[in-house]
Amino acid sequence: MAQQKKMVEAITSRDVDFAKWYTDIVKKAELADYSGVKGCMVIRPYGYAIWENMQQDMDKRFKKTGHENVYMPMFIPESLLQKEKDHVEGFAPECAWVTIGGSENLTERLCVRPTSETLFCEHYAKVINSYRDLPKLYNQWCSVVRWEKTTRPFLRTSEFLWQEGHTMHETEQEAREETLRMLQVYTDFYKETLAIPAVIGRKTEKEKFAGAEETYTIEPMMHNGVALQGGTSHYFGDGFARSFDIKFAGRDNTLQYPFQTSWGTSTRMIGAIIMVHGDDDGLVLPPKIAPIQVAVIPIAQKKEGVLEKANELRSRLIDKDIRVKLDDSDKAPGWKFSQYEMLGVPLRIEIGPKDIENGQCVLVRRDNREKAVVSLENIEAAVEQALKDVHDSMYNAALKNLQEKTFEARTHEEFLDIAANKPGFIKAMWCGDSACEDQLKDETGGVKSRCIPFVEDHLSDVCVCCGKPAKHMVYWGKQY
């Protein structure tokens, strides 16, 4: 028990120092480590296994909607990046440049991709000739580089893993439908796989993606009331197509420009999982992406028949495509309990001589520590149901946190008071002027517009900042 207590104390309480708590979990659950390159991280096997499970789930969703995976180069010639003015200006402060190849100075600088719109456009200009070539529904899994000044593992790093979808369409309507369809794919993934609820909607003009006409976002809330931009979907119109001279012969034989979208999520989602679901004992992983869904812990394992029965349980669950780890190491059971709690394993099975004698085992949930005595005869069905129950319980707890930390402000004074004293989202009316966004951000130390939801509450007739007629209700909050 002393070992168990020591492991738990090794994590800073999230209510004492949330940032330190987060870093403790990243390191002690062996998700990632710092590298010799400032701002870059080593994603360790357990962390990468979480990403692989997320990737596989999302990839199936993308392919169900007709998308194909491709791979674009890592380097973007400066002249190519310069073709779309707003886009290059938006990313210029974060670009990393290559100026030497081998021992030769390059005749043209190469940007290490911060995003790949320009590369896709260069390719699309070559392969789109007729309306019959459309739509082009491409997705890429890769890493990108954005030279961040302040970094934190998974949340903001100079290099990170992500997926980026880039599509071209014959009509504006098709492109707009694609933009919202992929936002819904993200929303479903967050709910059904990550057990995370979120606010979704459109970004303001000030907060939209560089070069986009419209940006839509999914905004989950972390346990401490801070937002995390969980994924974005962008409608570009035909702006990039015109800049890159992408034309096709339409159905009426006239030359036309296609309409474009892009959408992306990243390893930042691992940070969201930690901060939405984790507790003072470590990770709490949603079952669908947990590398280990069930840890089998034999009790008094040196006694006759215990390991054999534990192995039998493991095999039966593996046959049901459940990810299982049997820990038959010589460490004490208490240490093992703490270890798998630290790793966020959704379920633990404890089985010892008395359990075997009674034809049962003990099933322990990570999310709420509930224990249940389960018949060995029905173990497969019991585990499958428990995994579902854990997911639903985690989602409901996160939804409760989101609802309890969402407030309404009808006056400027009320907005400032909530921002100072109640961490979370603030729903408030806005006139549409970016100057009010800037003022509220300055007055509150970083509260920004998160999104304009698809369904807006009418809280008042005037802007919460300037008092002029309101155009939209906006979700506001601080962000990672």
Sequential DSSP letters for 6-17: HHHHTSPPTTT-
pTM of the full structure: 0.95
> Residue 9's pLDDT is what?
59
Report domain extents, the chain: 12-277, 292-389, 406-477
Residue partners of 352: CB distance under 8 A and separation at least 6: 298, 299, 300, 303, 306
Cite the DSSP H helix spans in 253-332: 268-277, 306-318
CATH of range 12-277; options 3.40.470.10, 3.30.930.10, 3.40.630.10, 1.20.1050.140: 3.30.930.10
Specify the amino acid at residue 112. Answer: V
> Residue 86's pLDDT is what?
74
Q: 233 and 182 in contact (C-beta within 8 Å)?
A: yes
Domain 292-389 has CATH 3.40.50.800: yes
Per-residue pLDDT of the chain (480 residues; tens, 9 = 90+): 444 454 555 899 999 999 999 999 999 999 999 999 988 999 999 999 999 999 999 999 999 999 999 999 999 999 998 887 777 777 788 899 999 999 999 999 999 999 999 999 999 999 999 999 999 999 999 999 999 888 899 999 999 999 999 999 999 999 999 999 999 999 999 999 999 999 999 999 999 998 899 999 999 999 999 999 999 999 999 999 999 999 999 999 999 999 999 999 999 999 999 999 999 999 999 999 999 999 999 999 889 999 999 999 999 999 999 999 999 999 999 999 999 999 999 999 999 999 999 999 999 999 999 999 999 999 999 999 999 999 999 999 999 999 999 999 999 999 999 999 999 999 999 999 999 999 999 999 999 999 999 999 999 999 999 999 999 999 999 999
Question: Which top CATH class is 406-477?
Answer: alpha beta
Q: What angle do CA 182, 185, 186 make, to 5 degrees?
A: 95
